[in-house]
Amino acid sequence: MNKLLLFLPLIILISFSCVTSKSLSKKATVLDEAGEYTAAADLFYQSIQKNSQNTTAIIGLKRTGIKVLNDYLKKFSQYSIQEQYEKATYAYLDAVIYQTKLKGVNVIVEIPYSAQDNYKNVLNQYLTTKYDNGLKLIEIEEFDDAEKCFNEVYKFDESFKDVAELRNIAYLEPYYRKAEEYKTQKQYRDAYNSYLVILDRVGNYKQTKEHLELVLVKGRIYITMSSDEQNRYSRYSKSIKQQVINSIVKINDPFIKIVDREDIDKVIKEQELTLSGLSRNDIEIGEIAGAQYNVVIDVTNYSVSVSPLKKEKIKGLESYKEKYKDSEGKQRTRTKYTNVYYYEYRSTRTLVMSVSYRIVSLSTSEIIATDIIKSSLNSKVHYATYSGIKKQLYPPANKNGYVGNGYRALQNLLAADRDLKPAAILVEEFNNYSGNSIANSIVTKLK
């Protein structure tokens, strides 16, 4: 009986599924007999989805599905005769989609060979019309609309004439022209990004690679780093300066490069070699050498303080087991507590540090940007010690006499770290924070 109860929900579910499938099939049959074969086909389809073995539904969908498919093909034929090739193409595709849908429930309906052959001719007419329209649009420089035409052709036949090349031209030419406009206006970063779009799509369209290299060389900014060697905190300044360099390298901005001041002449010569294969008409005298900045980094404040280790004696409880006999004389064990003392310790190491930076134009001595980054970093210890058995140590009982509140927190204190972070670690944390902030500021300002 119990086994029957366990399987009863499954039996009900199976029965409901069969009844639902049969019910749908019966409704579909009624609709079919009334001449509503489109609605009937839909219900037969749902019936098969509920039960793929429903023979009545399968036969019914085969019968009504052919009629629905023929309706799609009639539309295709009508549009074809009227030379409405786009509508004819998509009417035929609707027929194919419906055919595929029925195939998904193992009901096969065929499209006549005559319709298949006619579709090939219709499609060719449609693609030719779209292709010709695209050519006209590209001639009058309506690139967006031309691209839509070529994309439509490409969707059906990637090898249709030279549509693959033309769709690229329609897409890329606006980017190329915009890039050339940016280049003329000396907006080299915008030009570079537009050229990148072209290279991501195709290869070297209209010597895009060469143009990309040109705007990169002309627009690249070379940065030197320096700090006051006489500053009492110069060793900290050098560390932050190195972190700034590392962060800028990670940002990987192609237009920003860090060099030693002694290497400026060598950099200019390397640029000239890079440009040697390009048109000299595109390069203005002094354009490259003027794009240089120096970043001055100086630590202006540094102090480390450590608070005296504060020790506090706290009253606690230590548990122990006591044996006793219950009222029936049986041996039992119970937990009891005795008063004890443990110690808690607290201390803090604090680093206060400030760093200033300024971006200076080497050609005009103008300060482009300046700021000061300040921070106070702490390392704290809070731990407990106990000379007895640590696992049996509890905080004092609460006002209701309950023992146990705060036990886990106290155990964590007993296992807590007792050493403050060294000052060098705090300095390193400040270096990372300030170095990243300065690097991001430099890249943002120089964009």
- Mean of pLDDT values over 238-252: 94
pLDDT tens, position by position, 307-332 = 999 999 999 999 999 998 888 889 99
The pLDDT value recorded for residue 270 is: 55
- What are 415-424's contacts with CB under 8 Å, separation 24+? 416/381, 416/382, 416/383, 416/384, 417/381, 417/383, 418/345, 418/381, 418/383, 419/381, 420/306, 420/347, 420/348, 420/349, 420/379, 420/380, 420/381, 421/349, 421/379, 423/304, 423/349, 423/351
- Mean of pLDDT values over 246-264: 83
Quick check: 353 and 302 in contact, CB under 8 A? yes
CATH number of 131-216: 1.25.40
The pLDDT value recorded for residue 435 is: 95
Residue 277 has pLDDT above 60, yes or no: no
The pLDDT value recorded for residue 327 is: 85
Residue 283 has pLDDT above 80, yes or no: no
Structure tokens at 92: 């035929």
Rounded Cα distance, 57 and 294, in Å = 81
Rounded Cα distance, 198 and 206, in Å = 10
What's the pTM? 0.69
Domain limits, the chain = 14-111, 131-216
Q: How confident is the model at residue 400 (pLDDT cuts 50, 70, 90)?
A: confident
SS3 213: helix
Residue 254 has pLDDT above 80, yes or no: yes
Listing DSSP states for 3-17 in one string gives: HHHHHHHHHHHHHHH
- CA neighbor of 315 nearest in space, from 397, 407, 400, 381: 397
The pLDDT value recorded for residue 292 is: 78
Residue 290 has pLDDT above 70, yes or no: no
- CA neighbor of 99 nearest in space, from 88, 116, 111: 111
- Mean of pLDDT values over 42-52: 94
Cα-based distances in Å from 253 to 195, 219, 257, 446: 16, 12, 8, 11
Is beta strand 256-258 parallel, antiparallel or unpaired with respect to 221-226?
parallel
The pLDDT value recorded for residue 284 is: 41
- Mean of pLDDT values over 259-274: 57
The pLDDT value recorded for residue 264 is: 53
Residue 225 has pLDDT above 70, yes or no: yes
Q: What is the dihedral of CA 245, 251, 256, 262, to 10 degrees?
A: 20
Quick check: 64 and 32 in contact, CB under 8 A? yes
Rounded Cα distance, 315 and 311, in Å = 13
Q: What is the dihedral of CA 332, 334, 338, 344, to 10 degrees?
A: 140
107 Cβ partners below 8 Å, 6+ apart?
Answer: 48, 58, 61, 62, 65
54 Cβ partners below 8 Å, 6+ apart?
Answer: 21, 22, 25, 47, 48
Highest mean pLDDT among 20-29, 197-206, 423-432: 423-432
- CA neighbor of 394 nearest in space, from 313, 315, 323, 335: 315
